[in-house]
Amino acid sequence: MWLKKNKKDSLQIIQQKHFDWYAENTFQDYEKYSKSTSWQCIDLQVIGQWRSEIKKGSFLLDVGCAQGRSTFQFMNEPINIVAFDISREMVRLAVRKYKQSPYQAKVSFMVADASTFPVKNSSFNYVLLYGVLHHLPDPRRACLEIYRVLKRHGVYMGLENNSTIFRFVFDLLQKLSPLWYEEAGPVALMSKKDLLKWFLGLKIKLTTSTLAFVDPHLVNLLPPSLAQFILDATNRLGQILPLMKENGGLLAIKGSK
């Protein structure tokens, strides 16, 4: 393992060390990881849809923002953003990038733990967790926090690793040729059933869909335009076929309070 673990470390500290390491390293920095063809195509599909629904002047909380990977997708919207991450090094990269160019969005970055959001109740129109729940020691606790900080009619937007029956293919290819270096929490893969359990008792309407029916190892070998076409086409097909519709590699989540 590229990151040595101390048995006494809490899961949060392990995540912090992992992403501090990922901020800049000789294997693959996080910016390079997020700019891979497969992730750029997925970002366009998922965040592109969410971005089109964001209202002017609204408030968005980006939980687990890393180096601003998801935050900067909304930077040219006239909105207010608070973004935080457990990794000080990742936040430092995000702040540095934010200072380099003028943006429409007004943004505040900070270091914090996603187990307890450092914001007031009912203070955000949107809460974004882009690939974050599967890193946390207690996803249920984070879901309670999502609900707490959302305003009435607010929206939770999320993307997570899906518990697909085809996961073994990706796991095998990752062992042979790692595309990125993962440090997942106790729930590395999840389903809509998990989310319903974590939001149990809360007045929030959850809708989910799966996507990414083509392995990213293959997608990354293609020119970006062809990769986008293939992902779009396979997503449309996969989401209507009974055996496939729940078995994309990723789970897109939308929750309305």
**pLDDT 10s digits, 42-86:** 999 999 999 999 999 999 999 999 999 999 999 999 999 999 999
Exposed, middle or buried by CB within 10 Å (0-12, 13-18, 19+), for 79? buried
d(CA 194, CA 188): 12
Q: What pLDDT shows up at residue 9? A: 56
d(CA 134, CA 183): 9
CA quadruple 204, 210, 215, 216: dihedral sign: negative
pLDDT-flagged residues of the chain (< 70): 1-9
- Which residues, listed in sequence order, are joined to residue 16 by a DSSP beta bridge? none
Return the domain boundaries, the chain: 11-256
Its pTM surpasses 0.85: yes
**CB under 8 Å to 46, separation ≥6 — which residues?**
159, 211, 252
Q: Evaluate whether the domain defined by 11-256 bears CATH number 3.40.50.150.
A: yes
Q: What pLDDT shows up at residue 7? A: 43
d(CA 42, CA 209): 13
d(CA 177, CA 27): 13
